[in-house]
Amino acid sequence: MTDPVFFTVPEPMTIERLAEIGGGRVVRGDPGLFVASVAPLDEAGPSHLSFIDNPRYLGQLAETRAAAVFCPPKFVDRVPEATAVIEARQSYRAFAKATAALYPEAMRPVGVIRGSDVSPAAHVDPTATLEEGVVVEAGAVVGPRVEIGAGTIIAATAVIGAGVRIGRHGYIGPGAVVQHALVGDRVIIHPGVRIGQDGFGFAMGAGGHLKVPQIGRVVVQNDVEIGANTTIDRGANRDTIIGEGTKIDNQVQIGHNVVVGRHCVIVSQVGISGSTVLEDYVVLAGKVGLSGHLKLGTGAQVGGGSNVAHDIPAGERWMGTPAQPIREWTQEKRVVAELAKARRTRDTKDEEPTR
């Protein structure tokens, strides 16, 4: 349930207006009815907007008391009569747009002290350039020759290393460290993120491991979001790149020279070894591990917990350890299950007493 302690109570909007924002259309109910907030199906009341997308929640849909729901065409007939229906083929995306209109503050983290400029308890090097509306909170450090675009927030205790450039309307969370990096516009970097530290590069040898200088950068393009405690190493002799619109979850490790394309999704606890390339729209589920020097083609998807040691062609879905095309993985799992079942049956017969 929404909490006015953390988010400003929204101005109510009509169902018709919310449908327009979400890209849907009201197919049943009063389009002039006002909605005051949002809530999940099982908690929604007569002033709430909700949505249905996953058939797993059809039971909750049948009992919801929501004022209105975003609903794909296939579930329209399942919505209770008292609830208005906003038909939208992509109901979750439609609901997200409507929620953003009701709660615009939730779209980007805000500073601890709203409306402040540069705190007297922050350290900003005199050679740094800050555009209008930049906020630097207490305990933050902004190094020499740094450039920060208008409207960006540098939260408490964040550290921005020498020469870093950060675009406009971004957010660098508490305790984050950004160095050797170029960061685009509207980038959200959550608390504890580390960007631009040394990549793991050593020339191995019997006499000891010789450190290889890491002289590349990290380039983070526009509209990227990076989850808490994620680490992105700078390149060794070329740049580590995070493409436009990519979304990275918490606790992800990205090694040096990695190139991540546009609009990729990388879920928590993924590890990407150095010099691997992800083309656009790649999806890596939780705890995926990628060996170094791989290439994953556009739209490739890897299932959770998989370990990838080979290139993946565009559009393919892989799973397992070692990862393989999901159809092969499924077939092998079925064969192994059948063999195990046959073995159990044989063992049971062997244990039966003879007469």
Catalytic residues: 256
The H-or-E segment that residue 84 falls in is strand 84-87
> If DSSP codes are grouped into helix, strand and coil, which group holds residue 22?
helix
Is 156 in contact with 138 (CB distance < 8 Å)? Answer: yes
* Rounded distance between C-alpha atoms, residue 187 and residue 171, angstroms: 6
How big is the chain, counted in residues? 355
Find residue 355's DSSP bridge partners: none
- Tokens for 321, please give them: 């350890």
CA angle, residues 58, 61, 62, in degrees to nearest 5? 90
- Amino acid making up residue 132: E
Q: Other C-beta atoms within 10 Å of 79: how many?
A: 23
Bridge pairing between strands 247-248 and 265-266: parallel
* Rounded distance between C-alpha atoms, residue 35 and residue 14, angstroms: 6
- Tokens for 240, please give them: 């580590």
Bridge pairing between strands 129-130 and 147-148: parallel
Percent helix, strand and coil across the chain, each rounded to 5?
A: 20, 25, 55
Which residues lie below 8 Å from residue 108, measured CB to CB, with a gap of 6+? 169, 171, 186, 188
Bridge pairing between strands 240-242 and 259-260: parallel
